[in-house]
Amino acid sequence: MNDRSNAHYDYIITGGGAAGLSLLHRLLHSSLKDRRVLVLDKASKTQNDRTWCFWEKTPGPFEHIVFHRWQRLWFHQAGFSKLLDIAPYTYKVIRGIDFYRETERVAAQFPNVTRRQVGVDTIRNTDTGVAVTTDDGSRYTADWCFNSIFFGKVEKEKVRYLDQHFRGWFIRTQGDAFDTEQATLMDFRTPQHGETRFLYVLPFSAREALVEVAIFSNRHLQRAEYDSILERYMDEHLAYTGYYEITDTEQGNIPMTDYAFPASEGRIVHLGMAGGDTRASTGYTFWNIQQRVERIVQQLENKGNPLPAEPFAQQRARRYDTLLLHVLEKGLYPGDALFGRLFERNPPARILAFLNAESSLVEEVQLMHTTPVSKFLRALVELGVGGRKHGAWGIGHGA
Ligand SMILES: Cc1cc2nc3c(=O)[nH]c(=O)nc-3n(C[C@H](O)[C@H](O)[C@H](O)COP(=O)(O)OP(=O)(O)OC[C@H]3O[C@@H](n4cnc5c(N)ncnc54)[C@H](O)[C@@H]3O)c2cc1C
């Protein structure tokens, strides 16, 4: 730690979570690794506070800390089950704690990187760059600020919005219970109650797994209600009937919205959830963050600014997400049936490419044909004439 209050840095990273630390990690593996960087986060980042799942075709920047990977995934819905071979993709999981430790380990090798555990109060553009103030009264300046703290407020009534709220159990069974080669991506065999509810199972060993329920709705449950869904699911759908213990839990919420989070404001570049990197139709964010920080660092290296244009595929993805979110939010078609149709009628790789915003236009048309087209046309009409223009359908991913 070589912090000097009021010091000037090349870059200040406000929020050292998935996005901030991914950017830092990428910077430290680039030609910009000698730049002076200050990372500010109010948390110590010493807890395993989340588990990130994502899929990709090639090894990623955090390949060596991938906790487990699968190439075959189950999809279940009442009356329909399919074991998906997801090649060329691999489904991967990274534990938060491994990610925080790894980025800390890499950063510790660079005396030009300073990390401070402190709350960020304000971030402002100035005539010469940015100024950041913290809750201990310090003020720092930089040429650019990369921010993943959301200081705004999403006015839910003006956009399409669904929470993805979830609770998971890390369980350890007494006897062998899991096939570590096969995870469950989505299992809708739980009462839907007019919402979109599914479970997923990530087996880490024959006796250890994360079993989690995720619900797309704006009505959160009491902890006991999530637990009873998990318990019932374990009873009804896991072949194992012996004793198991819950070794840890994970609970959280991911806002799924087409609110147009600005990508940047002056010399402040917004990242992660605060920068619109969360897929509005699924809540997946981690892989998007990796793509985004790669583009940012490349642009910095090649053009001297961190403001790359958003790829067309990503722009299209925002429109599709708005459509899908509208269908789900308005209940135009049940979520379980919708995902069931997609997985029944498409090769898994096409769906995964689509959800990663790396599909071709042809693949997107093929995929759209397998949706309940009339419901999507209705959604299109409603979006065209509906008043809520502040989301991605209205003004796009603002810059
Ligand atoms: C439990 C959980 C599980 C998830 N699982 C997945 C998954 O499987 N796959 C996936 O793709 N996405 C997942 N997500 C969504 C998303 O990937 C994560 O939320 C991810 O951490 C978002 O990255 P971020 O950098 O935007 O936010 P964060 O990782 O939350 O980082 C923001 C940082 O800002 C800091 N901060 C906030 N306010 C201040 C302040 N005022 N001053 C200083 N610091 C501040 C916080 O301490 C935090 O470290 C999950 C989310 C949660 C909550």
pLDDT digits (tens, 9 = 90+) for 255-299: 999 999 999 999 999 999 999 999 999 999 999 999 999 999 999
pLDDT in tens, 25-59: 999 999 999 999 999 999 999 999 999 999 999 99
Q: Which one, of 72, 67, 71, 73, lies nearest residue 57 by Cα?
A: 71
Query: Which CATH architecture group holds 8-50+94-155+258-303?
Result: 3-Layer(bba) Sandwich (3.50)
| Residue closest by Cα to atom 16 of ligand 1 | 285
Give the per-residue pLDDT at 240: 85
Q: Whose CA is nearest to atom 26 of ligand 1?
A: 272
If you measure from the C-alpha of residue 73 to the centroid of ligand 1, how many angstroms do you get, rounded to a whole number? Answer: 25
Residue 390: pLDDT band by 50, 70, 90 thresholds? very low
Best mutation site among 12, 42, 62, 73 for ligand 1 pocket (most ligand atoms within 8 Å of CB): 42
Residue 3's pLDDT band (cuts 50, 70, 90):
low
Determine the Cα–Cα distance for residues 100 and 22; give it in Å rounded to an integer. 10
Mutate to test the pocket of ligand 1, among 48, 93, 98, 285 (most ligand atoms within 8 A of CB): 285
The Å distance, Cα 276 to ligand 1 centre, comes to 12
By most ligand atoms within 8 Å of CB, the mutation choice from 117, 140, 273, 291 for ligand 1 is: 273
E strands, the chain, are: 8-14, 37-41, 51-56, 68-70, 72-77, 80-85, 90-95, 113-117, 120-125, 130-134, 139-147, 161-173, 182-187, 196-205, 208-216, 244-257, 264-265, 268-270
Report which of 336, 4, 8 is spatially closest to residue 145, judged by C-alpha positions. 8
Is there a contact between 257 and 393 (Cβ–Cβ < 8 Å)? Answer: no
Per-residue confidence (pLDDT) for residue 385, from 0 to 100:
53
- CATH homologous superfamily, domain 161-256: D-Amino Acid Oxidase, subunit A, domain 2 (3.30.9.10)
| Residue 226 near residue 251, CB atoms below 8 Å | yes
Separation of CA 28 and ligand 1 centre (Å)? 21
Per-residue model confidence as pLDDT tens digits over 208-233: 999 999 999 999 999 999 999 999 99
Query: Which residue in this structure is represented by tokens 């899929």?
Result: 55
